[in-house]
């Protein structure tokens, strides 16, 4: 739009010079050159290259292989390991996103209602601290806290409450995915809380005042004003959290290795991609799986955005 | 203003019970957040935990010693990894923020033909997951012979579309008349950018530095792909490979000492810039 308007304006005002590409335009592209080169070389090109590779049977590091059509996609979709990876990723992602949003919203509301300013900043800082800790450090730390014998801190604490049979947090395939969820809650809670707090402070005060006039109490105000007003933030977190959750790799790789131990319960989609690309040298299969991941992420994002819009029209 | 008036009123009156309950609940919760760090520190100073974690868990090390840290620094080349991570972070910060500021300035103030198209293209590539493009990128760098070379970090750093977005939004708020006046005085475009606008951009530069530093320092997957030589390892991959090769859950106090050291730079940065960091995160979250 802007482009065509400017062109028309140029034609009308300087019909004789016909300088289609001005000095200013050149400078603009010169200044944007680093960005444009970066985007072309490290986003657009690899996106198409990945698509190209996914249709080929490659060997080793060479890009050229035999054209095999969709058979890499078919292989991935028929591979039980891929489905296991997808199920695990989805389970861990959904649980950590939903629990994370609920917990951090409650936490942010509590902090926001605190009238003690020093305490407010202190709690903000403390709850956010785990967020700057890397996934590697978190995984190493929790591999000891969640030690599977009675020596582990969590099992020790649980023994006070009558759980005398130590839980194999990261060794029991039935439990390990939930342990990962607990661990990622510890790490990610602060991030959501900070964003919710920023949102809570943006709710206009006169909305609350109007509700008070109507006789609404604290809880009712929270339910009928705060939550609906913050809906865009909930949707944003749902989307960002789901995208992040679908890309889970570092923690499961470090704790469960490339096989996603125990018993494949920690196999995730990105781990599947990594394992096929860099251990099995199956670049074609790996890129096909990565395209499937991309499509899944796009569909999930689109569905969540649509749900948001439909709610809008209902209101 | 309202806040301070509130707290003064509180001091004069009695603090309501509900506020006490709130503070206690939050305090108990923050205890859960802090315990892992405390356990890490206690264990890291405990020579008695060099082979197995101690039982029952200790509030104070069984055999307090800093030998654990000595062992961590000799067995894991922590010092080297930290230097490497600083080099990589610094390079990425310079490349990414310059690329973002230059393009943000051009998109905001130059209004060149196709500017909106460039912005739209850059922003839409943010949707492409890195996990999808990492394989071709890896193949590209291995073909160029740039594995184990930090250019594998600096070159992709050119693509910092989110930074461009932040910079453009910030420069949009600065008056264009500054540029026009400087150009009338005969200044070139680079001078206008560097002398007039760049100094005004300090807040957004600080935000970008913080976000980039935290991102690069904690990055794990890309270094795992492109760094094969242990002398080139960044801190995360160095720490990860040590435990990966020796088995996780081994040598608690040594690993915890190394982990604690890996956290020092981020935690120090966090302590000093805590307010800035929290603001930056909130800003980036809302902008996205």
From the list B122, B135, B275, the residue facing A286 with the nearest CB is B135
Contact B106 A31 (CB under 8 A): yes
- ipTM (interface predicted TM): 0.89
Contact A254 B244 (CB under 8 A): yes
Q: A72-308: which CATH architecture?
A: Orthogonal Bundle (1.10)
Contact B159 A43 (CB under 8 A): yes
What sign does the CA torsion over B180, B181, B185, B188 have?
A: negative
Per-residue pLDDT reduced to its tens digit, A148-201: 888 888 998 898 898 888 888 998 999 999 999 999 999 999 999 999 998 998
Q: Which residues of A touch B117 (CB under 8 A)?
A: 3
Rounded distance between C-alpha atoms, residue A204 and residue A225, angstroms: 10
Contact B129 A144 (CB under 8 A): no
Q: Which of A31, A198, A41 is nearest to B168 (CA)?
A: A31
**CA of B262, closest CA in chain A: separation in Å?**
8
Asked if pLDDT for residue A69 goes beyond 90, the answer is no
Residue B183 and residue B165 in contact, taking contact as beta carbons nearer than 8 Å: no
From the list A3, A37, A194, the residue facing B278 with the nearest CB is A194
Q: Which residues of B touch A151 (CB under 8 A)?
A: 52-55, 57
From the list B100, B189, B243, the residue facing A254 with the nearest CB is B243
* Dihedral angle over CA of A250, A254, A260, A265, nearest 10: -80
Rounded distance between C-alpha atoms, residue B22 and residue B16, angstroms: 10
> Strand A56-57 relative to strand A66-67: parallel, antiparallel, unpaired?
antiparallel
Residue in chain B closest to A44 (alpha carbons) equals B125
Q: Where are the beta strands (DSSP E) in chain A?
A: 56-57, 66-67
What sign does the CA torsion over B100, B102, B103, B105 have?
A: positive
CB-facing half-sphere around the CA of A12: CA atoms within 13 A:
6
Q: How far is CA B163 from CA B10, B96, B101, B135, in A?
A: 43, 8, 8, 24
Contact A127 B29 (CB under 8 A): yes
Averaged pLDDT, A37-59: 93
- In this prediction the pTM is 0.90
Instruction: Find the DSSP H helices in A14-79.
Output: 23-39, 45-54, 71-78
**Per-domain residue ranges for chain A?**
23-68, 72-308
Label residue A121 exposed, middle or buried (CB < 10 Å: 0-12, 13-18, 19+): middle
Any CB–CB contact under 8 A between B193 and chain A?
A: yes
Any CB–CB contact under 8 A between B239 and chain A?
A: yes
Residues in Cβ contact with A235 at an 8 Å cutoff, skipping those fewer than 6 apart: A304, A305, A308
**A residues 98-117 lying closer than 8 A (beta carbon) to B:** 107, 110-111, 113-117
Contact A42 B156 (CB under 8 A): yes
Q: Which residues of B touch A2 (CB under 8 A)?
A: 115-116
Per-residue pLDDT of chain B (288 residues), as tens digits, is 445 555 555 555 678 888 899 999 999 999 999 999 999 999 999 888 777 777 777 778 888 888 989 988 988 899 999 999 999 999 999 999 999 999 999 999 998 999 999 999 999 999 999 999 999 999 999 999 999 999 999 999 999 999 999 999 999 999 999 999 998 998 889 999 999 999 999 999 998 999 999 999 999 999 999 999 999 999 999 999 988 888 777 888 899 999 999 999 999 888 888 888 887 777 776 665
pLDDT category at A310 given cuts 50, 70, 90 is low
Rounded distance between C-alpha atoms, residue B190 and residue B193, angstroms: 5
Rounded distance between C-alpha atoms, residue A274 and residue A268, angstroms: 10
From the list B35, B100, B137, the residue facing A42 with the nearest CB is B137
Any CB–CB contact under 8 A between B241 and chain A?
A: no
The mean of the pLDDT values for chain A is 87
């Amino acid at each position: 739009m802007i482009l065509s308007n400017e062109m028309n304006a140029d034609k009308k005002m300087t019909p004789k010079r016909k300088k289609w590409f001005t000095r200013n335009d050149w400078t603009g592209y010169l200044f944007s050159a680093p960005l444009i080169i970066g985007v072309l070389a490290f986003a657009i090109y690899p996106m198409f290259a990945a698509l190209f590779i996914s249709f080929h049977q490659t060997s080793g590091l060479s890009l050229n292989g035999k054209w095999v059509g969709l058979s890499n996609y078919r292989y991935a979709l028929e591979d039980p390991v891929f489905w296991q990876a997808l199920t695990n990723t989805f389970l861990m992602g959904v649980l950590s996103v939903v629990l994370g949003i609920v917990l951090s919203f409650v936490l942010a509301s509590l902090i926001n209602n605190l009238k003690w300013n020093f305490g407010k900043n202190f709690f903000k800082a403390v709850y956010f601290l785990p967020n700057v800790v890397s996934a590697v450090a978190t995984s190493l730390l929790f591999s000891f806290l969640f030690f599977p014998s009675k020596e582990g801190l969590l099992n020790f604490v649980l023994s006070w409450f009558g759980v005398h049979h130590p839980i194999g947090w990261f060794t029991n395939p039935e439990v390990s995915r939930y342990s990962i969820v607990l661990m990622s809650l510890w790490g990610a809670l602060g991030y959501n809380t900070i964003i919710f707090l920023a949102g809570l402070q943006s709710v206009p005060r006169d909305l609350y005042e109007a509700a008070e006039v109507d006789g609404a109490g604290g809880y009712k105000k929270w339910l009928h004003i705060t939550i609906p007003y913050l809906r865009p933030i909930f949707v944003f977190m749902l989307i960002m959290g789901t995208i992040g959750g679908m890309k889970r790799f570092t923690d499961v790789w470090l704790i469960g290795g490339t096989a996603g131990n125990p018993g494949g319960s920690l196999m995730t989609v990105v781990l599947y991609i990594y394992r096929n690309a860099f251990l099995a040298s199956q670049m074609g299969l790996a890129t096909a799986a990565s395209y499937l991941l991309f499509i899944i992420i796009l569909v999930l994002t689109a569905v969540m955005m649509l749900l948001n819009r439909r709610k809008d029209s209902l209101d | 203003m309202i806040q301070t008036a509130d707290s003064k009123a509180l001091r004069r009156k009695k603090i309501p019970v509900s506020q006490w309950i709130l503070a206690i609940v939050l305090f108990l919760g923050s205890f859960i957040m802090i315990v892992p760090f405390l356990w890490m520190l206690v264990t890291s100073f405990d020579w008695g935990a060099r082979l197995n974690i101690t039982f029952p868990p200790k509030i104070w090390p069984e055999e307090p010693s800093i030998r654990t840290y000595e062992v961590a620094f000799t067995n894991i080349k922590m010092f080297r990894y930290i230097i490497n991570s600083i080099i990589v972070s610094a390079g990425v910060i310079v490349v990414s923020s310059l690329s973002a500021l230059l393009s943000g300035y051009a998109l905001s103030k130059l209004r060149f033909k196709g500017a909106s198209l460039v912005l739209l293209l850059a922003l839409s590539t943010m949707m492409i997951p890195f996990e999808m493009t990492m394989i071709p990128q890896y193949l590209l760098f291995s073909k160029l012979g740039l594995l184990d070379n930090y250019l594998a970090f600096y070159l992709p750093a050119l693509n910092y579309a989110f930074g461009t977005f932040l910079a453009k939004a910030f420069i949009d708020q600065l008056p264009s008349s500054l540029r026009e006046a400087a150009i009338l005085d005969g200044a070139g475009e680079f001078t206008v950018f560097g002398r007039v606008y760049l100094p005004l951009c300090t807040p957004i530069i600080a935000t970008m530095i913080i976000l980039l530093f935290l991102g690069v320092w904690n990055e794990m997957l890309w270094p795992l792909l492109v760094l094969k030589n242990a002398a080139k390892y960044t801190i995360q991959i160095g720490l990860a490979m040590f435990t990966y090769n020796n088995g996780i859950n081994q040598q608690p106090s040594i690993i915890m000492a190394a982990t604690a050291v890996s956290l020092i730079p981020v935690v120090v940065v966090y302590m000093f810039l805590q307010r800035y960091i929290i603001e930056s995160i909130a800003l980036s979250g809302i902008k996205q």
